[in-house]
Structure 1
Amino acid sequence: MAHGSSDFDSRGDIMENGYANRLSFRNDDPSPGSVADSKSEKIPQRETWDKKLDFLLSCVGFAVGLGNVWRFPYLCYKNGGGVFLIPYVIFIIIGGVPVFFLEISLGQYMKQGAFGVWDICPIMKGIGMASTIVVFFCNCYYIMVLTWAIYYFARSFVAVLPWATCNNPWNTEFCTTNFSSASNMSIEQGNGTSNGNLTTLVNVTRLTSPITEFWEREVLQITDSITEPGELRWQLVLCLLAAWIICYICICKGVRSTGKIVYFTALFPYVVLVCLLVRGATLPGAADGIRFYLQPNWTKITETKVWIDAGTQVFFSYAIGLGALSALGSYNVYNNNCYKDCFILAIVNSATSFFSGFAIFSLLGFMAYEQNVPIADVAESGPGLAFLAYPKGVTMMPLSPLWSCLFFFMILLLGLDSQFVGVEGFLTALTDVFPRQLRGRRELFAGCTCIVCFLVGLSMVTQGGMYVFQIFDYYSASGMTLLWMSMWECVTVAWFYGAERFYKNLESMIGYRPSPYMKWCWQFVTPITVLCILLSTWVNHQPLVYNRTYKYPGWGIGLGWLFALSSMICIPAVAVFKMVTTSGSMLERFKKLTTPIIQRHQQKAFMASHAEPADSGNGDCMPCIEGNGRTSIMNETEEQAQRLTPPPKYDESHFQSRH
């Protein structure tokens, strides 16, 4: 694999012998004045960000999402409080930042989405296919969080929140707002001898809160099993439709309009978080909640599970492995300083996770104080925090409908920009593969994509839809799939393509060489670290269980693994398929399939970065670039013949005939 670092280094006499005169490049992105300008009607010009800030806020909106608000604080307290920050920061340095930078810079260099960026090493184009499948799954199920947020938001415009009392049609006789009083009463009655008193003692174990009954009996109307799908919840269907309409409006016009929308969707949640923190800090018990959030438990640092949680959280929160970061980077101008952007975005992402913990645990501390229970009893993660724990805390605050509206509006915005940027990544991936057919029909293509995802989402708004949602969430975009793709991304760029060669490409883009630590991480540290986490995840894998009680049937678990493997298997399957279908010996096939496909916009940078002589790692072969934009292998005899033959003039009509 070491040869990959020098495929393009045998350029010593290309410039001297005029060989560059016959270079021509793929022109999928014609610009005015280019040799393919006459074809520009067929392939509309590729967009770029209107401003650099558009790109930064889009990355913030995509990467900073609900996981920062509802997953990180929970993991932090569960894994030793402040101690958890040690493995978390370590994994940011050796995994999160390097892969984050790799994906963005690769998209900026190749000017392609998830599929096209792997033209850099065609044998590994399965990575692009895998990430596109995963982001499609994410687009189908992640929108459900927006659906529930819209529903809660709409139900918050009342004087008394519907989940604050037990006086609603959906409530049962076991609903109570005061567990301590009910428990004390049952214990006193249980000391009697009558059968009725014994019944009361048994029933107290079935007591539920009004927020739990609102969530399960009113919002979801959940059935007992995945085998009982029940009916469509028409209220949730309308909310799902509204979420997709909003998403379509955000993406239909392309990244220039999307880049303006994120000014609001990415920034306003910070305003709400600050308001929630200020309000929460003034409540009794808030200090205890924050202390519980940060108080270090040093015994946790030696537990393997703590390190696994830290690693997977970094890859989740940085949105790595989905292909959307490459899509966002592909709309940058070629010379954008993506290296500096990477560190800015990493700081914003991690700081948001840390800051949100203060806002969340100040309220959880207040809830524990009001109910006179340990904070651990009220802490939740995932949807349980957003739709159970926090709404319950809001009911204890003055002006509870106002704070409920603010909270669910924040949840909606946090999920919205992650959603429409994910859809943008999917659209970009396919549009770059079929630019003639899709780029000029973006609104239609975006609409069809939204409709397909909406139809898939209908399976999650039935009465048994939560079981389907959990399968999608647990398997289709799990830590296994993201870690698997991240590992192969590093291996491909660092070893197949060549870390040193990619550093030359980066230097041609940003004007200087990044720190060598990035290269070391891509080559050794990150792949080994990710592989260790991946193996630990497989070893400690537990079958999916809903609500800690319901165990899925075998076919449900099998369906989940089908979702997971449908993306993971793409990487080896595509590599094997390309090796089998390519002509030549095994070595020749491998050389052809690890030779990059150069885009036209890279011509100037390509010639500049390979003008100096260097030893080739490919023996007596050197790559050249044909009219179709693909590099091919010249053997030594062909190279000598080329040197003895005057270089042909660049024929524009010939180039146009190729496109």
Structure 2
Amino acid sequence: MEKQSPKVELDVDEPPRPDTELDYKKRETWGSKFDFLLACIGFSVGLGNVWRFPYLCYKNGGGAFLIPYLICVIVGGIPLFFLEVAVGQFMGVAGINAWKLCPFFRGIGLSTLIIVFFLNCYYNVILAWAFRYFFASFTSKLPWTDCDPAWATIHCSEFDQSIDNRCSFNVSGNVTEVGALFNGTCISSAAAAFQNITIYLSALYNETIGYQVDPVTEYWEINVLDISEGIHDIGKPKWDLVLCLLLAWIVVYLCICKGIKSSGKVMYVTATSPYLFMIVLLIRNCLLEGAGSGILYYLKPDFSKMLDTQVWVDAGTQIFFSYSISVGALTALGSYNKFNHNSYRDAIIFACANSGTSILAGFIIFSILGHMSHLQDKPISEVAEAGPGLAFIAYPKALTLLPGAPFWSIMFFLMIILLGLDSQFVGVEGVVTAVVDQFPDFLRKGYRREVFIAFVCFLCFLVGLPMVCPGGMYVFQLFDYYSGSKIILFVAAFSCIAVAWCYGIRRFYDNLAMMYGWRINPYMAVCWTVLSPIFCMVIFILSAISYSELDYKRPKGTYTYPQWAVSIGWTMAAFAAVWIPIGWLYHIIRYGSSWERFRLVFRPLDLQDHQLRPQDHGEPSLADLNRPRKYSDYGSNQQQPYTVPEKPPQYQECVLKNRNVQPPSDAIGMDNPAYTTSNPPTSTRL
């Protein structure tokens, strides 16, 4: 049985402020227990589950990929997700201030802030594309059903065998050419041209015009993106995509401007309704011809793939991608929880919902890919795509096969918008919360927070403008590949080290017991101290070894990025990661003159009484270095006695309320009532 520990019932308001600060707004908490869970599901369960997991599954051995994937969920996904949430909930703040838990690693807060800012800039472009398709669906016939001459090129083909009138015309001897069937007779191409007979081509023949694509792909590349030949040719912004991007940011602002109490209610719709649409699409797709072969391709295991290190790298990076680890937003979401909220339970429920959604999306994707493979007479591996192509090519193709296609298209892209919206406004909330918590006395007055949110949204809109130009897809891929892929592994590893090895795993477990009233399973301690850091660094090293520079696959061929563009990508990645070692150097230079001073950089800073165990009262911290009268001689062993600074009356009342709560008699180590502060608490050793 798990040990029962004293639970700190915290009901403490912020200290009263002077009359001149009556417009100061207190920090909010979630309106109900379910708001936090829905926010986590809404933020992390998004388009990545829909387009990335199914592609990785078929690429890495089908059903066999689920084995390394689930191992990574248990070793890395759940522990790291819970760690970030628990740190935010315990500290009650986000961003840099959350890592006052271990000041030496405060750079983690700044790194995650930059990562989530980059993520916000390019993720909302996906919403702009979704709005573009959403508005285009209000018609009697979906515009990407046929090769419309208004936008289609000669490479567009409908792959309709019923209108394929090609035949093999014998010119002379063994020389043949493509002719046309006319009244049951095969005539030459010249005769067909003379009689104004068009020779329709199918996917089986492309010698005349080169590569061919279906109307859905052609509509995506030509009509929506107007894609250029490379990142060197950015071009002018497309006015329709600019307006859609602006609309997306306006919607995001309206969702979060009034705080998390109102946005939490929005998530009841945005986080749950997509599942209804996904189930309907799955049922319809499974009734299509060829769907069974697609699902079989998805599930058929190829266990030989498990010996390939790239499979494990893909599984590990997918966990970070879909669980939104190390982007700072989870800490922000956790910081809005009440101190006693059971986030441990929510972490388990979230993992089941997240991974289950990924697997469900795989069935939806590959059922329609099997049908497309049947129509085009191509292997599934050739019609499957990665990235945005699955959401804006495979799914729209499926919609054209449904009765009442425009209605279902409206519903589908509304689902895409809802999936993206809650991910986006939680990401923006992560940036805003981190900055507001850093400057609360300034940004929580009047309408300053609302103005600051508008500024952040407008800044992200400006950064996203190059991505709605003809060369915007290349910029989008650059952001996606470099700004938040491998760097989050680096950040997650140091998050574990900061909490488990510097702050102390036993002390953090005590803190969790103070929040929940019982001690969680020790498995989390094993993960945070050993398994998860090793998992992060191994995946990071393997991904570095197997690194290949970015390219973009198009129907006409593969585009390779120039070296200057790759350099920009690595600069973005380095800019996000460099703040962690900069934080180390800052603390070493400022406090490294003696061990007595330097050891304080590993002690928590500015904890309140409800966050302290009995033996932690009187513990010195970096804040005491600014109190020379109480702690004067830092360089020697002869130090003046340290006294606990006074707290506001509300906190004193909280301490008195919990003073008689004692640990259980069988407690060990620092939990033992016999423990005294004569042995000052240090960083806990395992």
Q: Same fold (TM over 0.5)?
A: yes
Does residue 541 in structure 1 map to residue 522 in structure 2? no
State whether residues 600 and 620 of structure 2, in contact with CA within 8 Å, keep that contact through their aligned partners in structure 1: no
Partner of 1:91: 72
Partner of 1:458: 465
Say which SS state the counterpart of residue 178 (structure 1) adopts.
Answer: coil
| Deviation at residue 624 of structure 1 after TM alignment | 9.1
Partner of 2:214: 209
Does 547-556 or 463-472 show the bigger shift?
Answer: 547-556
Q: 1:117-165 deviations in whole A, cap 9, x for unaligned?
A: 1111111111111100010001100001100000011101111211111
| Aligned 1:16-415 pairs, distance under 5 A | 31=13, 34=15, 36=17, 41=22, 43-178=24-159, 185=166, 191-192=175-176, 202-415=207-420
State whether residues 89 and 336 of structure 2, in contact with CA within 8 Å, keep that contact through their aligned partners in structure 1: yes
Distance change in 2, residues 1:598/1:281 (3 Å): same
State whether residues 69 and 353 of structure 1, in contact with CA within 8 Å, keep that contact through their aligned partners in structure 2: yes
Distance change in 2, residues 1:564/1:202 (3 Å): same
Partner of 1:483: 489
Q: Give me the whole-angstrom Cα distance separating, in 1, the residues matched to 2:168 and 2:126.
A: 40
- Determine which structure has greater relative contact order: mean sequence separation of CA pairs < 8 Å that are 6+ residues apart, divided by chain length: 1
| Deviation at residue 638 of structure 1 after TM alignment | 6.6
Q: Give me the whole-angstrom Cα distance separating, in 1, the residues matched to 2:623 and 2:564.
A: 50
Partner of 1:495: 501
Q: Match of 1:573, as an amino acid? A: I
Does 39-48 or 333-342 show the bigger shift?
Answer: 39-48
State whether residues 286 and 361 of structure 1, in contact with CA within 8 Å, keep that contact through their aligned partners in structure 2: yes
| Deviation at residue 589 of structure 1 after TM alignment | 4.4
For 1:606, which of 602, 606, 612 is the aligned residue? 612
For 1:577, which of 570, 580, 586 is the aligned residue? 586
State whether residues 591 and 598 of structure 2, in contact with CA within 8 Å, keep that contact through their aligned partners in structure 1: no
Partner of 1:528: 534
Does 366-375 or 557-566 show the bigger shift?
Answer: 366-375
| Deviation at residue 202 of structure 1 after TM alignment | 3.0
Q: Match of 1:157, as an amino acid? A: F
Q: Match of 2:560, as an amino acid? A: K
Q: 1:286-335 deviations in whole A, cap 9, x for unaligned?
A: 22222221111121121111111111111111000000000000000001
Q: Give me the whole-angstrom Cα distance separating, in 2, the residues matched to 1:525 and 1:239.
A: 44
Say which SS state the counterpart of residue 203 (structure 1) adopts.
Answer: coil
Q: Match of 1:593, as an amino acid? A: V
| Deviation at residue 466 of structure 1 after TM alignment | 1.2
Distance change in 2, residues 1:167/1:436 (3 Å): same
Say which SS state the counterpart of residue 166 (structure 2) adopts.
Answer: helix
For 1:550, which of 559, 579, 586 is the aligned residue? 559
| Deviation at residue 587 of structure 1 after TM alignment | 2.4
Q: Give me the whole-angstrom Cα distance separating, in 2, the residues matched to 1:463 and 1:629.
A: 59
Unaligned runs of 5+ in 2: 1-10, 180-187, 191-198, 200-204, 653-686
Q: Give me the whole-angstrom Cα distance separating, in 1, the residues matched to 2:150 and 2:648.
A: 78
Q: Give 1 or 2: higher helix fraction.
A: 1
Does 439-448 or 276-285 show the bigger shift?
Answer: 276-285
Does 521-530 or 36-45 show the bigger shift?
Answer: 36-45
Say which SS state the counterpart of residue 52 (structure 2) adopts.
Answer: helix
Partner of 1:595: 603
Distance change in 2, residues 1:642/1:468 (3 Å): closer
Distance change in 2, residues 1:632/1:568 (3 Å): farther
Does residue 504 in structure 1 map to residue 485 in structure 2? no
Q: Give me the whole-angstrom Cα distance separating, in 1, the residues matched to 2:65 and 2:92.
A: 38
For 1:436, which of 438, 441, 453 is the aligned residue? 441
Distance change in 2, residues 1:343/1:412 (3 Å): same
Q: Give me the whole-angstrom Cα distance separating, in 2, the residues matched to 1:245 and 1:39.
A: 33
| Deviation at residue 193 of structure 1 after TM alignment | 6.3
**Bigger radius of gyration:** 2
Q: 1:22-56 deviations in whole A, cap 9, x for unaligned?
A: xxxxxxx9936x36576753642110001011111
Q: Give me the whole-angstrom Cα distance separating, in 2, the residues matched to 1:652 and 1:69.
A: 52
Does 498-507 or 205-214 show the bigger shift?
Answer: 205-214
Equivalenced residue count is 610
| Deviation at residue 79 of structure 1 after TM alignment | 1.2
Q: 1:223-265 deviations in whole A, cap 9, x for unaligned?
A: 1121111111000000000000000001100000110000000
Say which SS state the counterpart of residue 549 (structure 1) adopts.
Answer: strand
Q: Match of 2:604, as an amino acid? A: P
Partner of 1:22: none
With structure 1 as the length reference, what TM-score do the two structures score?
Answer: 0.86
Distance change in 2, residues 1:215/1:187 (3 Å): farther
Q: Give me the whole-angstrom Cα distance separating, in 2, the residues matched to 1:236 and 1:138.
A: 19
Distance change in 2, residues 1:433/1:204 (3 Å): same
Partner of 2:570: 561
Say which SS state the counterpart of residue 550 (structure 1) adopts.
Answer: strand
Distance change in 2, residues 1:343/1:626 (3 Å): same
Q: Give me the whole-angstrom Cα distance separating, in 2, the residues matched to 1:109 and 1:142.
A: 29
With structure 2 as the length reference, what TM-score do the two structures score?
Answer: 0.83
Distance change in 2, residues 1:279/1:649 (3 Å): closer
Q: Match of 1:451, as an amino acid? A: F
Q: Give me the whole-angstrom Cα distance separating, in 2, the residues matched to 1:336 and 1:604.
A: 15
State whether residues 622 and 633 of structure 1, in contact with CA within 8 Å, keep that contact through their aligned partners in structure 2: no
Distance change in 2, residues 1:648/1:537 (3 Å): closer
Q: Match of 2:451, as an amino acid? A: L
| Deviation at residue 554 of structure 1 after TM alignment | 1.3
State whether residues 144 and 460 of structure 1, in contact with CA within 8 Å, keep that contact through their aligned partners in structure 2: yes
Alpha-carbon RMSD across the aligned residues, in angstroms, is 3.0
State whether residues 189 and 201 of structure 1, in contact with CA within 8 Å, keep that contact through their aligned partners in structure 2: no
Q: Give me the whole-angstrom Cα distance separating, in 1, the residues matched to 2:153 and 2:12.
A: 65
Q: Give me the whole-angstrom Cα distance separating, in 2, the residues matched to 1:61 and 1:334.
A: 22
Does 622-631 or 265-274 show the bigger shift?
Answer: 622-631
Percent sequence identity is 46
Partner of 1:24: none
Distance change in 2, residues 1:349/1:40 (3 Å): farther
Say which SS state the counterpart of residue 397 (structure 1) adopts.
Answer: coil
Does residue 426 in structure 1 map to residue 426 in structure 2? no
Distance change in 2, residues 1:207/1:250 (3 Å): same
Say which SS state the counterpart of residue 192 (structure 1) adopts.
Answer: strand
Q: Give me the whole-angstrom Cα distance separating, in 2, the residues matched to 1:296 and 1:194.
A: 41
Q: Match of 1:517, as an amino acid? A: Y
Q: 1:89-135 deviations in whole A, cap 9, x for unaligned?
A: 11111100110000000000001112211111111111111100010
Q: Match of 2:484, as an amino acid? A: A
Q: Give me the whole-angstrom Cα distance separating, in 2, the residues matched to 1:486 and 1:336.
A: 24
Unaligned runs of 5+ in 1: 1-28, 614-620
